């Protein structure tokens, strides 16, 4: 999607290894989010950021950490990957201030498989 | 926990027919949004309706909001095969740092 890219698009990793997913935006939006999407659960918020170095937990944050050292990058790290973290991960961005008037812009997703 | 619950879970219609999808939610909201997701892609924002609005239109889309019933509906008129996708409602509470909470989605199939 224009203005937001996720990398990698696909990844297979082994149980117990750390994994980092990257979200990069060129829109200079203040807010960034990480969601996971699983069949039967829809999208669930993992972590979000409301500014550089300002992050907070979502509803399914256990086993995940995030960092935001620059406005444009939001990293999601699985500290020790487990099979239950096999999922499709989406990053989203929204504008500050006008966030209540506009929706989120989503990346194309990262399909992560933990074997 | 999901705030929005869509209904039905799946819908199959013929091209040219109208598609109506419903969403119910539990707590007070600032706005409600609908998104579309094509297979293998990210979500795309379709329309946003604020809590003080009752109806909104965008092209072939019409969304209504009834805050007394905590429900919304999305109507797609004159559906096309290209409308085949999953549709999600999402609610946003008050506060500058409030986040969107998504439902589980509705799978719409439009038969040519």
B103 Cα to chain A: minimum distance (Å): 6
HSE at residue B38, side-chain half, CA atoms within 13 A, is: 10
Q: What letter would DSSP give residue A112?
A: E
Which segments of chain A does DSSP mark as H helices, in order?
none
Q: Closest residue of A to B30, CA-based?
A: A100
Which is it for strands B55-58 and B61-66: parallel, antiparallel or unpaired? antiparallel
| pLDDT per residue rounded down to tens, chain B (112 residues) | 457 788 888 999 999 999 999 999 998 888 999 999 999 999 999 999 999 999 999 999 999 999 999 999 999 999 999 999 999 999 988 776 678 899 999 999 999 9
Cβ contact (<8 Å) for A103 and B101?
no
**Of residues A22, A21, A48, the one with CA closest to residue B100:** A48
Identify the CA nearest to A50 among candidates B29, B42, B102, B96. B96
Which residues from A are below 8 Å from B when comparing CB atoms?
A: 1, 33, 35, 40-45, 48, 50, 56, 58-59, 90, 92, 96, 99-109
Q: Please give the helix or strand (H or E) that residue B21 lies within, else none.
A: strand B19-24
- Of the candidates A31, A99, A110, the one whose C-alpha atom is nearest the C-alpha of residue A71 is A31
Q: Tell me if A50 and B88 make a contact (CB, 8 A cut-off).
A: no
Q: What is the pLDDT along chain A (115 residues), one digit of tens a residue?
A: 469 999 999 999 999 999 999 999 999 999 999 999 998 888 999 999 999 999 999 999 999 999 999 999 999 999 999 999 999 999 999 985 444 677 899 999 999 999 9
Indicate the DSSP class of residue B84: -
**pLDDT for residue A97:** 47
Instruction: Report yes or no: B100 at the A interface, CB cutoff 8 Å.
Output: yes
* Domains of chain A with CATH codes: 4-114 (2.60.40.10)
pLDDT at residue number A96: 58
Chain B nearest-CA distance from A81, in A, is 23
Give residue B96's pLDDT: 66
Residue A98's pLDDT is: 43
Q: What is the pLDDT at residue A100?
A: 60
- Check if CATH label 3.40.50.300 holds for domain B5-111: no
Q: What is the pLDDT of residue A114?
A: 98
């Amino acid at each position: 999607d224009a203005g937001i890219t996720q990398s990698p698009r696909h990844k297979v990793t082994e149980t117990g290894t750390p994994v980092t997913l990257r979200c990069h935006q060129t829109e200079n939006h203040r807010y960034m989010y990480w969601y996971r999407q699983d069949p039967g659960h829809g999208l669930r918020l993992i972590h979000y950021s409301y500014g550089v170095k300002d992050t907070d937990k979502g509803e399914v944050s256990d086993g995940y950490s995030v960092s935001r050292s620059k406005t444009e990058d939001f990293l999601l790290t699985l500290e020790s990957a487990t099979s239950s973290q096999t999922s499709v991960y989406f990053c989203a961005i929204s504008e500050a201030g006008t966030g209540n008037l506009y929706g989120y812009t989503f990346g194309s997703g990262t399909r992560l498989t933990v074997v | 926990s999901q705030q929005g619950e869509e209904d039905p879970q799946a819908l199959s219609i013929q091209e040219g027919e109208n598609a109506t999808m419903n969403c119910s939610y539990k707590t007070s909201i600032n706005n409600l949004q609908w998104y579309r997701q094509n297979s293998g892609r990210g979500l795309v924002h379709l329309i946003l309706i604020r809590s003080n609005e009752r109806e909104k239109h965008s092209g072939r889309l019409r969304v209504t909001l009834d805050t007394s019933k905590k429900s919304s509906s999305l109507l797609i008129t004159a559906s096309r095969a290209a409308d085949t996708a999953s549709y999600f409602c999402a609610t946003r509470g008050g506060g500058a740092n409030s986040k969107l909470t998504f439902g589980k989605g509705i799978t719409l199939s439009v038969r040519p």
